[in-house]
Amino acid sequence: MRVRDVMATDILRVSPGLSWREAARLFLAHRVSAAPVVDSAGALVGILSEKDLFRGLFPSYAEWMAAPHAFRDFEEMERPDVSEKTASEVMARRLITASPDTPVLKVGALMAASGIHHVPVVEGTKVIGMVNRGSIYRAILQTYFL
């Protein structure tokens, strides 16, 4: 079984300059938990997930070190300021990708070893789909074990 057999092709793609707030709106509207981040030429530059958006709510280590007094009381931080953050600031840059011909078992192994949940499927530099942990898990179980 190959990635082409389980990948989603009708996927949300976001640009690096998309605001944090608009990315969150798109994720909610499209009911997705991750999207590839592509440049104006359509080349993959990162992946944005719910986890990245969630992390974007909180200060980075560098921000905290620069002004630790500003982040002492998280109870007071009822509505974190994310207005200036963009997809490129919070996206994951460490990418694991697959081609349509990659074996599903290989992608499953990469996901398990690296702790990632979404893998962009690329041809050259263009994103043509995505696979997630659930689709890989189901494909492996149904094909090899059930």
More confident residue, 143 or 107: 107
pLDDT at residue number 84 = 81
The mean of the pLDDT values for the chain is: 88
What average pLDDT does the segment 35-39 reach? 96
Q: Whose CA is closest to 131, among 29, 146, 110?
A: 110
Q: Closest Cα to residue 95, out of 84, 81, 111, 79?
A: 111
Structural domain harbouring 127: 3-145
Under the banding of pLDDT at 50, 70 and 90, the label for residue 121 is very high
Domain count, the chain: 1
Local confidence band at 69 (pLDDT 50, 70, 90 cut-offs):
low
pTM for this structure? 0.83
**Long-range pairs of 119-122 with CB within 8 A, sequence gap ≥ 24:** 120/36, 120/44, 120/47, 120/95, 121/3, 121/4, 121/7, 121/97, 122/44, 122/97, 122/98
Comparing 14 with 59, which gets the higher pLDDT? 14
- CATH number of the CATH domain containing 109: 3.10.580.10
Is the confidence at residue 94, as pLDDT, over 80?
Answer: yes
